[in-house]
């Protein structure tokens, strides 16, 4: 018997005009950072009130990452830079210059000394934050990088690219350790998002054919596949997602830690919650009236969703 996931909407905010790109809780869960396509970043408190606006990027911001201690926020922008903001002074403390095209994704390591960024210039860069220096440039993809993530101990970087490949890199040496490709016949779909499982042994990857796949990378194989169905639970015809990079997250039920749920946004405003073990769709959450859900994040039992047109919602799961 598959149990549904209950949820309750606890916060519903409409963030001004213009397109939003990314929203993230800080690790503590007390602040939400939201980035906009006009290049600004807003810091909101738990009630959704604006604490501060961070201005500095000249073009749209695509991705945000909090450091583990919550003192810093990194932002990736189309102006080819990555900026690091202090959340104590709300000032930009570092600007990392080196990418030659739009930066699409950023990630702090757990120690807060390295930052990984992926760009449309097809390169991944590893930065020494303290000295604003690029330590390594990993050029192994042949299309824009859509997402990067780090294993929990920070030693492996995983990257997703529109060239259809998922690659793993050694953080220290910058060597490519492994390449994963889903062989779906003639075409390999662009990979739009990738993340490590909490223990770093599996990779959850979204591709633009509308599937989310869980990979066992040691074994080079897909162990679970989750499909997005347009009509919701029970409907079999799968849909093409194809346009937006909707991200995913894991939700671990505190009452039942054996139950792990994969949460994913979709192109048409719904959020999917699948049970990992059975691959069944447990709930379908309508977080927007048809605008793509660009970001989902689970933090301390709360689910944060952000649509492209600025609908930012928080659900208690």
Partner 1 sequence: MNLSLLDPFAVAKEYPEVLFSKLEFGHSTLIKSSYNSDYLASGTIDGDIVIIDLDTHGIIKILRNHTRAINSLRWSNCGRYLLSTSRDWKVNLWDLTANEPIRSLRFEGPIWQAEFSPKNQPFEIFISIFEDDCLFVNWEDKDDIRMSPISVEGSEESSNHYILTGVYHPSGNFLFVGTNKGLVNIISTIDGSTLFTEKITSSNVKNIILSQTGYRIAVNFSDRIIRQFKIPDLVNEEPENWVLEVEHKYQDVVNRLQWNSVSFNSNGEYLIASTFGSSHEIYIWETTMGSLVKILEGSKEELVDVDWNFKKCEIYAVGLDSGKIYMWGVIVPQKWSALAPDFVEIEENIEFMEREDEFDIIPENEMAQKNLELEEDIEVDLLTKDTIDARGFSIEKSFVIPLKLEHSQNLFE
Nearer residue to partner 1 within complex by CB, 37 or 177: 177
Torsion of CA 20, 22, 250, 65, to 10 degrees: -170
Nearer residue to partner 1 within complex by CB, 48 or 170: 170
**173 in contact with partner 1 (CB under 8 A):** yes
Which one of 41-49, 109-117, 229-237, 304-312 is the stretch in contact with partner 1 (CB under 8 A)?
A: 109-117
Which one of 2-10, 32-40, 212-220, 305-313 is the stretch in contact with partner 1 (CB under 8 A)?
A: 212-220
Sheet holding 145-150, edge to edge: 145-150, 156-161, 165-170, 176-181
Q: Tell which positions 4-63 bind partner 1, by CB under 8 A.
A: none
Give 216: exposed, middle or buried? Use CB within 10 Å, 0-12, 13-18, 19+.
middle
Which two three-digit tokens encode residue 29? Answer: 């869960």
Nearer residue to partner 1 within complex by CB, 129 or 263: 129
Could you tell me the smallest distance in angstroms from the CB atom of residue 129 to partner 1? 6
Could you tell me the smallest distance in angstroms from the CB atom of residue 139 to partner 1? 11
**113 in contact with partner 1 (CB under 8 A):** yes
Which two three-digit tokens encode residue 12? Answer: 């519903």
Q: Tell which positions 225-244 bind partner 1, by CB under 8 A.
A: 225
Please report the DSSP string for 18-86 in residue order: S-EEEEEE-TTSSEEEEEETTS-EEEEETTS-EEEEE---SS-EEEEEE-TTSSEEEEEETTSEEEEEE
Q: Which residues contact 99 (CB under 8 A, 6 or more apart)?
A: 80, 81, 82, 117, 119, 121, 123, 125
Sheet holding 103-108, edge to edge: 103-108, 114-119, 124-128, 133-138
Q: Strands 221-227 and 114-119: what pairing?
A: unpaired
CA within 13 Å, CB half, 157: 32
| Alpha carbon 301 to chain centroid, angstroms | 17
Q: Which of 27, 29, 48, 112 forms a contact with partner 1 (CB under 8 A)? A: 112
Nearer residue to partner 1 within complex by CB, 1 or 49: 1
Distance, in Å, from the CA atom of 149 to the CA atom of 163, rounded to the nearest integer, reads: 17
Number of residues counted as binding partner 1 (CB under 8 A): 65
Nearer residue to partner 1 within complex by CB, 38 or 188: 188
Nearer residue to partner 1 within complex by CB, 100 or 175: 175
Please report the DSSP string for 116-173 in residue order: EEEETTS-EEEEETTTTEEEEEE---SS-EEEEEE-TTS-EEEEEETTSEEEEEETTT
The site map against partner 1 for 79-98 (x = CB under 8 A) is -----x-x--x-x-xx----
Q: Which of 2, 10, 139, 181 forms a contact with partner 1 (CB under 8 A)? A: 181
Q: Which of 11, 59, 177, 239 forms a contact with partner 1 (CB under 8 A)? A: 177
**134 in contact with partner 1 (CB under 8 A):** no
Could you tell me the smallest distance in angstroms from the CB atom of residue 248 to partner 1? 13
Could you tell me the smallest distance in angstroms from the CB atom of residue 273 to partner 1? 15
Q: Which of 82, 156, 241, 263 forms a contact with partner 1 (CB under 8 A)? A: 156
**Residues binding partner 1 (CB under 8 A):** 69, 71-72, 84, 86, 89, 91, 93-94, 109-114, 128-133, 135, 140, 151-156, 167-168, 170-173, 175-181, 184-185, 197-202, 214, 216, 218, 220, 222-225, 250, 252, 257, 260, 276-277, 279
């Amino acid at each position: 018997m598959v149990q549904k996931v209950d949820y309750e909407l606890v916060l519903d905010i409409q963030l001004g005009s213009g397109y939003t790109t990314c929203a993230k809780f800080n690790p503590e869960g007390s602040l939400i950072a939201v980035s906009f396509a006009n290049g600004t970043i807003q810091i909101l408190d738990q009630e959704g009130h604006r604490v501060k606006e961070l201005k500095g990027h000249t073009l749209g911001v695509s991705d945000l990452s909090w450091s583990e201690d919550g003192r810093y926020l990194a932002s990736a922008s189309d102006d080819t830079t990555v900026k690091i903001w202090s959340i104590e002074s709300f000032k930009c403390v570092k600007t990392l210059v080196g990418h030659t095209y739009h930066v699409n994704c950023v990630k702090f390591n757990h120690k807060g000394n390295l930052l990984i960024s992926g760009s449309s210039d097809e390169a991944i860069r590893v930065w020494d934050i303290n000295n604003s220096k690029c330590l390594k440039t990993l050029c192994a993809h042949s299309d824009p990088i859509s997402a990067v993530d780090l294993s929990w101990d920070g030693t492996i970087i995983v990257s997703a690219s529109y060239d259809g490949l998922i690659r793993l890199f050694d953080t220290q040496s910058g060597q490519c350790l492994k390449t994963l490709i889903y062989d779906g016949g003639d075409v390999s779909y662009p990979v739009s998002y990738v993340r490590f499982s909490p223990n770093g042994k599996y990779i959850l990857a979204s591709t633009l054919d509308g599937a989310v796949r869980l990979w066992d990378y040691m074994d080079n194989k897909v162990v679970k596949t989750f499909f997005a169905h347009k009509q919701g639970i029970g409907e079999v015809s799968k849909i093409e997602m194809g346009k937006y990079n909707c991200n995913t997250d894991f939700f671990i039920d505190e009452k039942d830690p054996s139950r792990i749920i994969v949460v994913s946004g979709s192109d048409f405003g719904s959020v999917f919650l699948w049970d990992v073990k059975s691959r069944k769709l447990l709930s379908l959450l309508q977080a927007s009236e048809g605008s793509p859900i660009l970001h989902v994040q689970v933090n301390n039992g709360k689910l944060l969703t952000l649509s492209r047109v600025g609908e930012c919602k928080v659900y208690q799961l």
